[in-house]
Chain A
Amino acid sequence: MDWLFLTEVSLAGIGAGGLYALTGLAFVLIYKATRVVNLAIGEILMVGAYVFFGFSAGLALPFWLAAPGTLLVSGLLGAGIERTLIRPMLGENPISIFMLTIGLGSILVGLVELVWGANPLRLPEFMPTQPLFLGEAYVSPKVATAFAVASLVVTAFLILFRFWRGGVALRATASDQAAAYSMGIDVPKVFSLSWVIACMTAGAAGMLVGAIGGISPTMGVFGLSVLVVVIVGGLDSVLGALIAGLAIGLLEALAGAFLGGEYKTLTTFSLLVLVLMVRPHGLFGTHEIERL
């Protein structure tokens, strides 16, 4: 056994898992508050990457302006979507809202193609490029940076949900909307807040994913692969997104290294089937009991 190779592969997998966890968080935030499975998260991530490209390459803004600008635009996009498309649909059949988010994804792709064209592009370099070695083990500096950012954001959310008033309000709304209303929580505002934060998270993930893999109108496919992560982790669990993200990242890396790249997806989906058979609500998702 080549332990150095195994260590490097494992580090690469965990690094990639950080990106899964960050994007998974965007799914979880919206689902937790509004019970909407937002299939347009991948496209919102893609819009975030393009907005950053617009700021950093188009307007030549420095990173410290382009990044907050991207988060701001992503947040506004989330607020706009929630207020104009999602809120009027609340109470409707979940399938209708689900389909609406699929349509929204197509619209966002079309808008990006209109503004920036269909060609794949590269983001200006904003991450460290010096090779990083942990002992003798090589870690891609971009993946390490993405992992660090993802870990910070997910940890921040875990703390916020526990101690911040807005986070507690979100948890209360997720738990019981009627009870939250009766306790004076502005539930529509909580809905809006969850979309804003989720879209900002997706925008941040878009910058990181784009910095590693480049950007194109089809990069939203990444969101679909993350859907597997949140289903495994539990659609309403922030911790689940983190653990499942890291686990699937690691699993994919090991499968890719020892079985071959063609087995990555097969391994991931096999895990999904297995988890759904044992725990249909995901590893850390809330097991809801309906009483008649």
Chain B
Amino acid sequence: MRMKYMIDRRAFMGLTAAAGMAAGVLAMAPTARAAEDATTDIVLGGSIPLTGVFAFAGEGIHAGIQDYVQIVNDAGGIEGRMLKYVPEDTAYKVDASVAAFNKITSQYHTNLYYGDSTAFSKTINPELERAGTMIMAGASFASELNDPEKYPLQFIPGPDYTEMIGILLKYIAKEKPGAKVAFVHSDTEFGRDPIAKGTEQASALGLDVVETIVTPPGSVDVSTEVLKLRRARPDYTIFHGYVLAPIPEFITQAKQMGMESKFMGTFWSMDNSMVMKMGEAGDGFMGVMPYNYYYDTSGDAPMLAKIREIRPEYQSTAYMQGFLTTMLMTEAIKRTLQDGKELTGANMKAALNSIRDFDTGGIIGVPISIPGNSIPVGRIYKADMAEKKMIPASDWISLGKTGE
């Protein structure tokens, strides 16, 4: 027996009309949203790690972005358009960061985005390119991201990790030619990032890498590793892939064994408040920092003065990173609009790359250029525990494109 599905003419017409309306609404929605936003706010979305393992940085980044957005808007916005910051907490989890990205970009016509990790930057890159409507930066200084061909719409607001090591090695080669260097890094993607290229750079600079020590993530006691370091007797020991632990215990034990190595770190272990927590062990700790510290009053630094006016208490280097990222993004938008171009990802990135000898108001102590995806500039600082401050130990050091 054959079943007959009957539909009368009236029902058919009704269904067709409903489907047509739905299709029309769906088709018009993005156009309507884009048209509306083109005359209103410029949206900076953010996957921000306000909780979780990276919250110490997330809080600073969040405050830095907030403050620069406020400064821009108080000054009338960018070409008359206000900057709107839309953050979401991610707890430093990639799935949460992607969910935040999807939520924000579906609710707003997003022009700018701040990502919280290397993993997120890599994960979201195809989507970023597919959308083609925004540029992105973030908390990651991963060397892999410093490739304009693979990551055409992203940038790093400072030197990448390999360039940071390059700046440290350049300093060492000048201070003590032929010095013995050891790397100590965590067994994470973050920790491993610059080691292979850093070893090559050291050889090119005539330095001798005598030991590379790996510590498992979350390791508490590092006695074995310090014993290995003592055998190698390096003149300089460079830590990478840590924030605080296990650096203080490492240095303490090394000094107890009579080692005279100088200890150095990269960006995430160089915040003033973190180094000061090292106590006695931190005295003389050195490292590379692409930004001036909050309290720096030397030179012409109106932006640092402004920050101190907004927030009288110390702000971290993560704050400076968030602040500068927003400043550079704003500059890219401004240049794109001034050129009369549409705010596409490609146009904004081209505008960003047009930045030459740009004055950051003292956030970075020298004028900067962004020819590619990074700003290969930094300075060596040294901890002075009596002053409770990181004190400059070198002038600003700029690297060529190859990091040499």
A-side residues, CB < 8 A to B, are: 5, 8-9, 12-13, 15-16, 19, 110, 113, 117-122, 125, 129, 131, 138-143, 209, 212-214, 216-219, 221-222, 225, 252-253, 256-257, 260-262, 264-265
Q: Which residues of the partner chain B approach A212 to less than 8 Å between Cβ atoms?
A: 220-221, 249
Complex CA distance for A212 and B401, rounded to whole angstroms: 41
Assuming A15-B223, A19-B221, what are 20 further A-B pairs, CB within 8 angstroms? A12-B221, A12-B227, A19-B220, A117-B55, A118-B51, A119-B56, A122-B277, A140-B226, A140-B249, A141-B256, A143-B221, A212-B220, A214-B246, A214-B248, A214-B277, A225-B218, A260-B214, A261-B214, A261-B216, A262-B214
| B274 & A120 in contact (Cβ 8 Å cutoff) | yes
| A142 & B249 in contact (Cβ 8 Å cutoff) | yes
Complex CA distance for A121 and B252, rounded to whole angstroms: 16
| A113 & B51 in contact (Cβ 8 Å cutoff) | yes
Complex CA distance for A221 and B244, rounded to whole angstroms: 16
| B214 & A140 in contact (Cβ 8 Å cutoff) | no
- Assuming A261-B214, A261-B215, A262-B214, is B224 touching A120 (CB within 8 A)? no
Shortest beta-carbon distance, A27 to chain B, in Å? 17
Q: Which residues of the partner chain A approach B278 to less than 8 Å between Cβ atoms?
A: 122
| B55 & A5 in contact (Cβ 8 Å cutoff) | no
Does B257 interact with chain A (Cβ within 8 Å)? yes
Does B245 interact with chain A (Cβ within 8 Å)? yes
6 contacts between A and B (CB under 8 A): A8-B227, A19-B220, A118-B51, A119-B274, A120-B244, A217-B53
Shortest beta-carbon distance, B316 to chain A, in Å? 9
From 353 to 400 in chain B, residues with beta carbon under 8 angstroms from any chain A beta carbon are: none
Shortest beta-carbon distance, B210 to chain A, in Å? 15
Complex CA distance for A48 and B120, rounded to whole angstroms: 33
- Assuming A12-B223, A113-B51, A143-B223, is B56 touching A222 (CB within 8 A)? no
B-side residues, CB < 8 A to A, are: 51-53, 55-56, 58-59, 187, 213-221, 223-228, 231, 243-246, 248-249, 252-253, 256-257, 273-274, 277-279
| A257 & B227 in contact (Cβ 8 Å cutoff) | yes
- Assuming A118-B56, A125-B279, A261-B213, is B227 touching A138 (CB within 8 A)? yes
Q: Which residues of the partner chain A approach B257 to less than 8 Å between Cβ atoms?
A: 131, 138
| A118 & B223 in contact (Cβ 8 Å cutoff) | no
Complex CA distance for A118 and B59, rounded to whole angstroms: 9
Shortest beta-carbon distance, A182 to chain B, in Å? 45
Complex CA distance for A85 and B27, rounded to whole angstroms: 52
Q: Which residues of the partner chain B approach A216 to less than 8 Å between Cβ atoms?
A: 53, 244-245
Complex CA distance for A143 and B224, rounded to whole angstroms: 11
| B277 & A213 in contact (Cβ 8 Å cutoff) | no
| A257 & B249 in contact (Cβ 8 Å cutoff) | no
Q: Which residues of the partner chain A approach B273 to less than 8 Å between Cβ atoms?
A: 119
Q: Which residues of the partner chain B approach A140 to less than 8 Å between Cβ atoms?
A: 221, 223, 226, 249, 253, 256
Complex CA distance for A150 and B223, rounded to whole angstroms: 17
The 3 A-B residue pairs with the shortest CB-CB distance, nearest first, are A118-B55, A12-B223, A261-B214
| B225 & A261 in contact (Cβ 8 Å cutoff) | yes
Shortest beta-carbon distance, A249 to chain B, in Å? 8
Shortest beta-carbon distance, A94 to chain B, in Å? 27
Shortest beta-carbon distance, A61 to chain B, in Å? 19
Q: Which residues of the partner chain A approach B218 to less than 8 Å between Cβ atoms?
A: 218-219, 221-222, 225
Q: Which of A212, A214, A261, A265 has the most CB of B within 10 A?
A: A261
Complex CA distance for A16 and B219, rounded to whole angstroms: 10
Complex CA distance for A216 and B246, rounded to whole angstroms: 12
Complex CA distance for A37 and B398, rounded to whole angstroms: 54
Name A141's closest neighbour in chain B (CB-CB).
B256
| A9 & B221 in contact (Cβ 8 Å cutoff) | no
Shortest beta-carbon distance, A219 to chain B, in Å? 8
Complex CA distance for A142 and B220, rounded to whole angstroms: 12
Q: Which of B51, B52, B224, B248 has the most CB of A within 10 A?
A: B224
Q: Which residues of the partner chain B approach A209 to less than 8 Å between Cβ atoms?
A: 220
Q: Which residues of the partner chain B approach A214 to less than 8 Å between Cβ atoms?
A: 244-246, 248-249, 277
Name B276's closest neighbour in chain A (CB-CB).
A122
Q: Which residues of the partner chain A approach B253 to less than 8 Å between Cβ atoms?
A: 140
- Assuming A261-B216, A262-B214, is B224 touching A253 (CB within 8 A)? yes
Q: Which of B58, B219, B246, B278 has the most CB of A within 10 A?
A: B219
Complex CA distance for A209 and B219, rounded to whole angstroms: 10
| B220 & A218 in contact (Cβ 8 Å cutoff) | no
Shortest beta-carbon distance, A11 to chain B, in Å? 8
Q: Which residues of the partner chain A approach B256 to less than 8 Å between Cβ atoms?
A: 129, 131, 138, 140-141
Complex CA distance for A143 and B246, rounded to whole angstroms: 14
Q: Which residues of the partner chain B approach A142 to less than 8 Å between Cβ atoms?
A: 249
Name A222's closest neighbour in chain B (CB-CB).
B220
